[in-house]
Structure 1
Amino acid sequence: MSFKKLGVASLLALSMLTLAACDQAEKSAQQVLDKAAETAKQAIDDTHKAAEQALSDATQSVTGKEKPQEDAAKKPESSQEI
């Protein structure tokens, strides 16, 4: 009978260790998923900000609110030698 009690105790201890390990694995997986979600959200926010800036720059160029500086570089000078 002592072998039977020892076997049951060992089985219970092993079951508890397995459950504890599973709980820890679940917590670790949740942390990884949370970090991945945070990183994805940051990437989306950065992309959105860049798109807004590009749209703003494009609309300012089209409406003439801001003159592009490259126009001055393209104009030939009258005293320029060929």
Structure 2
Amino acid sequence: MSFKTLGAASLLALSMLTLAGCDQAEKSAQQVLDKAAETAKQAIDDTHKAAEQALSEATQSVTGKEKPEDDAAKKPDSSQEI
């Protein structure tokens, strides 16, 4: 009977160690997933910021090209001054 008791205690201890190991593995996996999610979010934010900047620059470039035309249209021709 002492072998059965020792076996049961060993099995219980081994099960608890396994569960503790699984819990630690789960926590580690969750930390890795959280870090990956944070990295992905940062990459998305950086990409969004770069896209907004590119759009802003493109808009300014187009707007910059239109301004001289508008200025030329507003200036009176020399023939009109005479």
TM-score clears 0.5: yes
Stretch deviating more after TM superposition (62-71 or 21-30): 62-71
RMSD of aligned residue pairs (Cα, Å): 7.6
Q: TM-score, normalised by structure 2?
A: 0.78
Residue deviations 1:21-62, cap 9 Å, x none? Answer: 000000000000000000000000000000000000000000
State the identity as a percent: 91
Structure number with greater Rg is: 2
- The unaligned stretches of length 5 or more in structure 1 are none
What is the CA–CA distance in structure 2 between the aligned matches of 1:81 and 1:47, rounded to whole Å? 53
Q: TM-score, normalised by structure 1?
A: 0.78
Shift >2 Å, 4+ stretches:
65-82
Which of 1 and 2 has higher RCO (CA within 8 Å, sep 6+)?
1
Aligned pairs (5 A) from 1:1-82:
1-64=1-64
